[in-house]
A = this chain, B = another copy of it.
Amino acid sequence: MNLKQLSERLNLSQTTVSRALNGYPEVNEGTRKRVAAAAAKYRYHPNVRARTLATGRSMSIGHVIPLSQQVELVNLVFSDFVAGAGVIYAEHGYNMTLTIVQDVDELDAYRRLSEHGAVDGVIVQAPARDDQRISFLSDLKIPFVVHGRATAVTAPYAWLDVNNKSAFQTGTEYLISLGHHRIALVNGQEKMDFAIRRREGYTEAVMSAGLSLDQNLMSSADMSEPNGYAAACRFLDLDDPPTAFIASSIVLALGIKRAIRERGLRLGVDVSVLSYDDDISYLPNTGDTPLFTTMRSSVKAAGAHCARMLIDLITTPDAPLPTELWEAEFVLGTSTGPGPFA
């Protein structure tokens, strides 16, 4: 059943039926009711393909996922982000178009989506410091929102980011206030913008407390459990091991925990661990007393809000590019305790 057939059944023009269904004001309330009833009766549903052609909008938002080596993180964070965004899309009648690509083809995938008019906007995740995607998408003139920021990119763009620097500064300061003077940083890949900012926050806290910055106490790698374990082993086996760790993700912290336990040390007593927490549903760190002390910010909430920002951007193209900075929340757990200088 299409619009033409429905309008014939009703003895109305397609125009009137279309307007009645889409809530335009210039149609009589009685007519509208009659149309709605008939639409329900005949199970009429406007064809989405025809509609998008006519309106010029695809009512669909693109996410491009590179199939990289570091699938772990992407998958986990991505799932929650998408879960948050997907709900908002649905509320506004948008679909979500997912494209899985080999690393190398990523820009190409964006270009195709844009040139084919397959999507009205895209989301960019996990930007590197000097991320190419941003200028690329700007040139394409397609609305997009970045989850995170790219420090080295000067052109304006819409973004939503957590204040990674202040999160790590606060976290490190907390450890220092507990009496820890040797604090190890187990960071994500430092080509990622968030990792760079986190290191800055850590560095600033250590320096302004008058402590020495030890390059041997910092590591940077993909955020996997084994990498956390390996880094922690390296640090704990030093002659002068750290008494506390600050980690970039719960997954890394789990690896650190394993190394600590393995050495017969007690988490939160002999060694403290503070972690950043994306609040991923697969890795809950909750309950009355969460295991880890964390700086927490929900990636799911971020997904939902990026979705809102993007939809606004699409519907109001001339509005200034929105940016938003969220602060991570401090959550006390049992993984931290007094240090040697308490």
The residues of A with any CB-CB pair to B shorter than 8 Å are: 43, 45-50, 52-53, 58, 60, 63, 65, 67, 71-72, 75-76, 78-80, 82-83, 85-87, 89-90, 95-101, 112, 115-118, 281-282
Q: A49: which of B45, B49, B72, B87 is its contact (CB, 8 Å)? A: B49
List the 3 closest A-B pairs by CB distance, nearest first.
A86-B100, A75-B79, A48-B116
Give chain B residues whose Cβ lies under 8 Å from the Cβ of A67: 83, 86-87
Q: A282: which of B60, B72, B98, B115 is its contact (CB, 8 Å)? A: B72
Give chain B residues whose Cβ lies under 8 Å from the Cβ of A97: 60, 95-98
Pair A281/B98 contact, Cβ less than 8 Å = no
Give chain B residues whose Cβ lies under 8 Å from the Cβ of A80: 75
Pair B117/A99 contact, Cβ less than 8 Å = no
Distance A116 CA – B93 CA, assembled complex (angstroms): 12
**Contacts A82-B98, A97-B95, A100-B87 given: A48-B117 contact, CB under 8 Å?**
yes
Distance A78 CA – B63 CA, assembled complex (angstroms): 16
Pair B117/A71 contact, Cβ less than 8 Å = no
- In angstroms, how far is the closest chain B Cβ from the Cβ of A314? 15
Distance A82 CA – B99 CA, assembled complex (angstroms): 10
Give chain B residues whose Cβ lies under 8 Å from the Cβ of A118: 48-49, 95
- In angstroms, how far is the closest chain B Cβ from the Cβ of A310? 15
Known pairs A47-B116, A75-B80, A95-B99; list 11 more (Cβ under 8 Å): A48-B118, A49-B117, A50-B53, A75-B75, A78-B79, A85-B100, A90-B99, A90-B100, A96-B97, A97-B97, A98-B98
